[in-house]
Chain A
Amino acid sequence: GAGVSQSPSNKVTEKGKDVELRCDPISGHTALYWYRQSLGQGLEFLIYFQGNSAPDKSGLPSDRFSAERTGGSVSTLTIQRTQQEDSAVYLCASSPAPSGRMETQYFGPGTRLLVL
């Protein structure tokens, strides 16, 4: 079956512009996560969606970052007024309906964002 897909795979933008990154989770997965991977760093948690519950936004680094998930499926991560320090790989992951906290997260290939 299809895995997690993300688009675009690469995005180059100018400082100050807004960008939208898209994630299509695995069909039927109710949980969706966004992470940021900067060069030489580990994965930084950004935001978590679970079903119809309010998202966990505790990892968003500033109010320039926001995300939504429409219809419990596709998610869009938006970065407004991009800065050079936003350059990173943005990874999306999904996991099946939760049976506790043991569910494996399945990752997409990521979107590589470069802010000039």
Chain B
Amino acid sequence: AQSVAQPEDQVNVAEGNPLTVKCTYSVSGNPYLFWYVQYPNRGLQFLLKYITGDNLVKGSYGFEAEFNKSQTSFHLKKPSALVSDSALYFCAVRDGNSGYSTLTFGKGTMLLVSP
């Protein structure tokens, strides 16, 4: 079985401050990890993914995520938040060693960046 948890329903941060959106996962094999962002009334947009290699993954719009195998985490980060980053963020996982073909998504974390 594969699962993902986003422990925070909402994260508030002031513009210009660093932001972190947390994600932890559970898989039996090697994890393939993804972050997506959803703006109001829009579909999900791909931000970044971890498959293998460097634990720090850089993605779109200045976002990055750090894969930590020992803590089974894949937190999303950005050094300096923008008001336009305010959106709903989803973490997703796929077990790279299983026959299951789809992504399992977390419930999402609403990021609110204040001016």
Question: Which of B36, B103, B105 is packed against the most chain A CB atoms within 10 Å?
Answer: B103
- B51 shortest CB reach to chain A, Å: 5
Q: Is B34 an interface residue (CB 8 A)?
A: yes
Q: Is A110 an interface residue (CB 8 A)?
A: yes
B90 near A42 (CB under 8 angstroms)? yes
A107 near B45 (CB under 8 angstroms)? yes
Interface residue from B34, B106, B108 paired with A104 (Cβ < 8 Å):
B34
Interface residue from A31, A45, A105, A108 paired with B104 (Cβ < 8 Å):
A45
Q: Mark A13-29, 1 if CB is under 8 A from B, else 0.
A: 00000000000000000
- B115 shortest CB reach to chain A, Å: 26
Q: Mark A63-100, 1 if CB is under 8 A from B, else 0.
A: 00000000000000000000000000001010000101
Task: List residues of chain B with CB under 8 Å of any chain A CB.
Answer: 32, 34, 36, 41-46, 49, 51, 90, 92, 94-96, 101-108
6 inter-chain pairs at a CB distance below 8 angstroms, sorted by A residue, are A31-B101, A33-B102, A42-B108, A43-B90, A102-B51, A106-B46
